[in-house]
Amino acid sequence: MNKLLIVGTVAFDAIETPFGKTDKILGGAATYIGLSASFFNLKSAIVSVVGDDFPQEYLDLLKDRNIDISGLEIVKGGKTFFWSGRYHNDLNSRDTLDTQLNTLADFQPKVPQEFKDADVVMLGNLHPLVQASVLDQMEKEPKLVVLDTMNFWMDCALPELLDVIKRVDVITINDEEARQLTGEYSLVKAAAKIHTMGPEYVVIKKGEHGALLFHGKEIFFAPALPLEEVFDPTGAGDTFAGGFAGFIAQSENVSFKNMKNAIIYGSNLASFCVEKFGTERMVGLEKAAVHERLQQFKALTQFDIVVENNG
């Protein structure tokens, strides 16, 4: 089985949406990535850090999905990274109410020996120096390195971010962040500029408006599945990235054609994530439901025009 190495936060989230609010629940980029990637046939491991306030129940939940957590450091007497946010009525924007770095402040990632030859590395949103440190520890060049990041690092650690971006094959980034990183409003121009920064593939996430995959002049688009109700968008981007990286890792095929499929799978899994609070939907999700929804994605996007008949 192929190996997927995941780095990112494992965290407590407290979320408010127009539909309700939660106390501290399981969250973090690596958590969502790991849960999403667990729908594929692969061996995955999470490299991250938590405090000893992190409940055994959550550790078991990750282990139950066959996620190797030997690289998940538990700091004695430390507290787990905490994020709290409130979504606006349209669910497209949110305010951060509180961020407590806690053990994340001094995190030194340690890649388990067994995953130093991982086929795919998914660098979830974290300080770019942590992302780079994971790459430094690899003993074999991965077939694919995927990086996710956010505007925060563009504001606070841009040189370090640009350094690590140079080293990856795929970057996943949202539309506003792509514009901030490049100074280009047009996403086509933004993607072209990001190509020159290193990544051969650029994925621009547009939330409810879908995702674009750029590879030179080639472009592919996957819509978000139109849903009756979006309950909580937290983790949707990470779930998307986990589906993308997981699909690639399973299939061992890094062609553009296969990346299209990976984007569809990422969108598919993300469409479940937003149906309930936090990780709740992903934890209870069955593979059969994912496969069934794939048919909905096909129905949503596939058409058959014979050009010759159209004048």
Q: Binding residues for a copy of itself, per CB under 8 A?
A: 39-41, 89-90, 185-189, 206, 209-210, 212, 218-221, 223, 226-230, 247, 250-251, 257, 260-261, 264-265, 287, 291, 294, 298-305, 307, 309-311
Phi, psi of 196 (to 5 degrees): -70, -15
Residue 219 beta carbon to a copy of itself: minimum distance, rounded to whole angstroms: 6
DSSP per residue, 208-226: GG-EEEEETTEEEEEPPPP
* Separation CA 92–CA 121 (nearest Å): 29
Residue with tokens 């003993």: 139
Q: Based on CB atoms, which residue is closest to a copy of itself, 29 or 91? A: 91
Q: Based on CB atoms, which residue is closest to a copy of itself, 49 or 170? A: 170
Q: Based on CB atoms, which residue is closest to a copy of itself, 84 or 261? A: 261
SS3 for 202? Answer: strand
Residue 204 beta carbon to a copy of itself: minimum distance, rounded to whole angstroms: 9
Residue 292 beta carbon to a copy of itself: minimum distance, rounded to whole angstroms: 9
Residue 242 beta carbon to a copy of itself: minimum distance, rounded to whole angstroms: 14
* Separation CA 170–CA 149 (nearest Å): 11
Q: Based on CB atoms, which residue is closest to a copy of itself, 99 or 251? A: 251
For strand 20-21 and strand 11-17, is the pairing parallel, antiparallel, or unpaired?
Answer: antiparallel
For strand 94-100 and strand 82-87, is the pairing parallel, antiparallel, or unpaired?
Answer: antiparallel
Q: Based on CB atoms, which residue is closest to a copy of itself, 141 or 304? A: 304
Residue 311 beta carbon to a copy of itself: minimum distance, rounded to whole angstroms: 4
Q: Based on CB atoms, which residue is closest to a copy of itself, 166 or 209? A: 209
Q: Based on CB atoms, which residue is closest to a copy of itself, 56 or 310? A: 310
DSSP percent split of the chain into helix, strand, coil, nearest 5: 40, 25, 35
* Separation CA 231–CA 215 (nearest Å): 33
Residue 230 beta carbon to a copy of itself: minimum distance, rounded to whole angstroms: 7
Q: How many CB atoms lie within 10 A of CB 192?
A: 16
Residue 240 beta carbon to a copy of itself: minimum distance, rounded to whole angstroms: 16
* Separation CA 241–CA 150 (nearest Å): 13
Q: Kindly report each contact of residues 207-210 with a partner whose C-beta sits within 8 Å and lies 24 or more positions away, as own/partner.
A: 207/92, 207/174, 207/233, 207/236, 207/237, 208/91, 208/92, 210/267
